[in-house]
Structure 1
Amino acid sequence: MVDFARVQKELQECSRDIEASGITVSPKADNLARLIGSIPGPIGTPYEGGTFQIDISLPDGYPFAPPKMRFATKVWHPNISSQSGAICLDILKDQWSPALTLKTALLSVQALLSAPEPDDPQDAVVAKQYLREYQTFVATARYWTETFAKASSLGVEEKVQKLVEMGFTDVLVRSALEATGGDENLALEKLRSS
């Protein structure tokens, strides 16, 4: 069973120093076992200036079992799946300790953005590019950050307007854009399939 008292304490800890760390964690709806975290892209990396959303599921046994985390924001990184957002990080698997918190896990994920480990990849294509064509990797990672992790409100409103003009309701459009990380094409596919 999840220790919800501890989860609430951890959420309070995260909200105390948002200004300093830039890291946030909040529940999805009223369920403390389903959370959404957000980390700023580290300065001096291709991820700088982006804000990355991370889906967090707390398994039965948390804090003795590690939280399940995956990137909801698309990111180009050797240790993060460009398809599913799965993260290859030891503390989210066999190196987890109950002494760690959601905030320390998110700080570790942020540190992973700064220091990729291409020899232990989650995404072999990205790792190969990182090792063989580093400048292309940096350019691609920057492009993905600009496209998926930097939400300019003007860009979002333009996307909403375009999709509403296609006959979808504003509420459905915003929901589809949020579910697809702001990807207009994926949102359109989602709207058409529902």
Structure 2
Amino acid sequence: MPPNMHKRILNEIAEANNDKSAETVVYVPHEGDIYKMLGSIQGPRETPYEGGTFLLDIKLHDNHPFAPPEIKFITKVYHPNVSSQTGAICLDVLKSNWSPAMTLRLCLISIQSLLDAPDASSPQDFQVAKVYTSNKQQFIREAKTWTRVHANVSLDAYISSHYEL
């Protein structure tokens, strides 16, 4: 990897970790492999996800930033644009609208924003999208339940239970 690419990735990690207002964290569990990392975002305030900590699996491509990272939820999320089975995320900036100007911090903030503003017209999980469009109150109740049950593990606790430190 070119040294300037390594430096950019390290700068992106630092930027994500230093932005206290966004409440984002990036951690590289495999020392020496900065292409595989974990991320953490907080559920947006005044949403069914408020109070939850959502963990993400992040994989960068060898030609980062010229290809979007592969990001999926580790934490189970009840959301029309997130697969309840795989954690896959349907978000245009992680696919067709990717730009090399995007950073890890901006990716995490975009995912937080997606939690705040579901788009049922482009669902990743059709069942959840159906509930979202037909019965908003049921959707909110279910999303709050999933947040309470699944989004309660901190990144530190996840790391200590899944990786040798």
- Using the size of structure 2 for normalisation, the TM-score is 0.89
1:165-180 equivalences in 2 (<5 Å): 174-175=161-162
Amino acid at match of 1:22: E
Q: Distance in 2 between matches of 1:93 and 1:28?
A: 25
Greater length-normalized contact order (CA 8 Å, ≥ 6 residues apart): 2
Amino acid at match of 2:9: V
Higher helix share: 1
1:93 to 54, 79, 95: 95
Amino acid at match of 1:138: I
Q: Distance in 1 between matches of 2:22 and 2:107?
A: 13
Q: Distance in 1 between matches of 2:74 and 2:139?
A: 20
Q: CA deviation at 1:101?
A: 0.2
Q: CA deviation at 1:12?
A: 1.5
1:18-33 equivalences in 2 (<5 Å): 19-30=20-31, 31-33=33-35
User: Deviations 1:28-50 (Å, cap 9, x if unpaired)?
Assistant: 22110001111000001000000
1:53 and 2:55 are equivalent in the alignment? yes
Aligned residues with identical type, % of pairs: 47
1:96-135 equivalences in 2 (<5 Å): 96-135=98-137
**Corresponding position of 2:138:** 136
Name structure 2 gaps, 5 residues minimum: none
Deviates more, 1:5-14 or 1:72-81: 5-14
Tell me how large the CA RMSD over aligned residues is. 1.8
Deviates more, 1:124-133 or 1:143-152: 143-152
- Using the size of structure 1 for normalisation, the TM-score is 0.76
How many residues are matched? 156
Matched residue SS, 1:28: coil
Q: CA deviation at 1:85?
A: 0.1
